[in-house]
Amino acid sequence: MKTEVIMYRDFYGYPVRQSMQTGYICVTDLVDAYNEMAKDHGWPQKRIADYYERENTQLFLKATCRILNAKSKNEQVPAEALYSDLSFGNKELPVNGWQANQLKRVLRGKHTKGVWVHPNVFTDIALWLNPNFRALVIDWVTDNLLGLREIGGDAFKEVNRVLDMTFDIGMDRWEYIKVARWTATKVFGSPEINQWNAANATQLEQRKELLLRLKTACEFGSFKNVDDLLSKL
């Protein structure tokens, strides 16, 4: 079983967790951030439970499941179905497809405690909290941090492969750690535990460029060892 990798993302000064495996976002963090902002803006306090008690929420969840089920089969839900059938979201869902309860996960782990939801639900909850707040959330959700992290992870694997081919590193993990520490130092100033999980888009782009430079130098340059390679970049 894979360990859940949690990314800590900054939402206007508030940390919001997101799972790198599933893409689900901790809506508990979002509601906490909203309620803190609400104190300064005169907005009403909100509870996640209130969102799920709404009839419109249940219709939205089922409609979302239908769309996700269609996408999983490379199909498209006809727009006419959404416009002409007001009970679209209230129809029975297929047993072997997405169900409304799969769009929410309640976790109790040390680092994962809270209510986690599908990104589509996360955005709908933001609208329910406050329309202006939703505008902030949509911009934040679509910044592609998950994609950048995945690209960075793949780049590390490719660099390690090239290092092994060039210097015959084999099982000497310390040589790979040197590269990881070098990259973190270039981006953050010093390497720290889990710092990449809180990296912003600029830092992730910088990591990608550094790893590309490292790979290119390794493939086309001439170096005695990993230390020699890193010292000349």
| Res 218: pLDDT | 83
Q: Which residue has the higher pLDDT, 171 or 23?
A: 23
Whether the Cβ atoms of residue 129 and residue 118 lie closer than 8 Å to each other = no
8-state DSSP, 24? -
Determine which of 58-67, 145-154, 170-179 has the lowest per-residue pLDDT on average.
Answer: 145-154
Long-range contacts of 183-191 (CB under 8 A, 24+ apart): 183/207, 183/210, 183/211, 183/214, 186/210
| pLDDT of 169 above 60 | yes
For 14, 79, 99, 132, 152, the CA distances from 76, given in Å and listed in that order, are 36, 9, 18, 30, 32
Determine which of 41-45, 122-126, 130-134 has the lowest per-residue pLDDT on average.
Answer: 130-134
| Res 53: pLDDT | 95
| pLDDT of 62 above 50 | yes
- The string of pLDDT tens digits covering residues 183-209 is 889 888 888 877 777 777 778 788 888
The reported pTM is 0.65
